[in-house]
Structure formats: C-alpha cells, structure tokens
C-alpha cells in the first residue's frame, strides 16, 4: 500500500471514521509523506499484462458512482509507461456512461482481479478519451488484432496511485481455459484405466 494511494483517498470524514473505530493511529504515519504519483513496477506491469477483465469506476456529474466491467483477451489493458496505462474501447451497449462521466470528471478507479492466485490490484488515475484514427501509434499499441467488436476509441489513464489488497476474502475461481488442461489429464487417465479394466476381463468358463 502506497502513501500516495492513502493520501488521495483519506478525506477528513474517512479520518474521522478511522478515529472512531480505532485505526487512525496505524495510518497516520502516511499523512506527512510526499504525494508524488506512483510508478508501476515490474510486478504491477506483469500482473496487468495477464488480466482478461477489470472493473472501472467513474463518477457522474450528479455525484452517482458507476462501475463497469470490461473483458477481453489477456492483456486488454496495456502498460504504456510506468505512469500510464490504456485500453481500446470496443462497441458495447452504446450507453456511453463511462465515456460521459470521464468528460465531466477524469478521475477513475480500476480494480483488477486474479482469482486463482487470490490477488487484486487497485489503480487510481485520470482518464482521457483518445480518437485512435488520429493517433495511429497509440492505436497499434492498444488494439488487439484478435478483437471481434469494432473499436470506437481509446482510453488512456495517467496513474496517480495503486494498492495491492489483502487476499484474505478472495474466493479462488477458475476459467474454462484455466481448468481445461486438468480436465484433459483426468479424461486421459480415465480412458487409460478403462482400457486396463477391459483388458483384464477374461471370458467366463462354460
């Protein structure tokens, strides 16, 4: 957990709640640390590069928060620099809630999960919408050639802070692709045992 992450989120009301419930002393040591933006390290970059989904939170002009799930091939979020990530925005239900919210308030929060390994990474940053037709180099970096849906725009996020969460309450979950090798091995072993069993049977005597 970085001090920058805590400095951005700990408002006076949050600090008052921490005081009331007894955790303020443990966090107060971060209050006076300089708040320069965090930089993604190798661990964070590798984690982001293998995600096939994430959640992104934005806030609308009327103050309501909105969380959207994004999915795609592994590596759908690209680490462009230690302080910047981005992804291609493919056509969906065409409500454009996240896009509109970003136009009003660039602040976003990303939540990235690795359920099998019980790990999660949170990113805070400032997002902007990019017309990929006008930025071919960025388009090449963000767009997955295997994507089937039309690409409407790019979303680039300048990272302000990140935090690794505790794994205590993460329930391991696995995709079909992740369990397929195990299932294949089991099926092969079952077939082997069935063949051995069939070969061990002898005809009954007359």
Domains recognised in the chain with CATH numbers: 1-35 (no CATH), 37-191 (2.30.110.10)
194: CB partners within 8 A, 6+ apart: none
Q: What is the pTM of this model?
A: 0.84
**Token pair belonging to 72:** 């795609």
Per-residue pLDDT in tens (0 to 9) along the chain, 206 residues:
688 888 899 999 999 999 999 999 988 888 877 667 899 999 999 999 999 999 999 999 999 999 999 988 889 999 999 999 999 988 878 899 999 999 999 999 999 999 999 999 999 999 999 998 899 899 889 988 766 778 889 999 999 999 998 888 889 999 888 899 999 999 999 999 999 888 887 666 55
Q: How far apart are CA 127 and CA 153, in angstroms?
A: 13
Surface-to-core class of residue 183, CB atoms within 10 Å of its CB (0-12 exposed, 13-18 middle, 19+ buried): exposed
């Amino acid at each position: 957990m970085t001090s920058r992450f805590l400095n951005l989120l700990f408002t006076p009301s949050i600090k008052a709640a921490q005081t009331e419930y007894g955790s303020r002393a443990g966090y107060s040591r971060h209050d006076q640390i300089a708040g320069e933006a965090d930089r993604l390290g190798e661990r964070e970059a590798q984690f982001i590069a293998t995600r096939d989904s994430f959640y992104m939170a934005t806030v609308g002009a009327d103050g309501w928060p909105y969380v959207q799930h994004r999915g795609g091939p592994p590596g759908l979020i690209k680490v462009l620099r230690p302080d910047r990530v981005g992804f291609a925005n493919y056509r969906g239900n065409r409500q454009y809630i996240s896009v509109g919210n970003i136009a009003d308030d660039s602040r976003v929060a990303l939540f990235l999960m690795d359920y099998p390994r019980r790990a999660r990474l949170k990113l805070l940053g400032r997002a902007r919408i990019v017309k990929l037709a006008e930025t071919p180099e960025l388009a090449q970096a963000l767009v997955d050639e295997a994507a089937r849906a039309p690409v409407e725009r790019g979303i680039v996020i300048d990272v302000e802070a990140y935090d690794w969460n505790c794994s205590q309450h993460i329930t391991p979950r696995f995709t079909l692709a992740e369990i397929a090798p195990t299932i294949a091995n089991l099926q092969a072993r079952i077939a082997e045992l069935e063949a051995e069993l069939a070969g061990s049977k002898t005809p009954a005597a007359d």
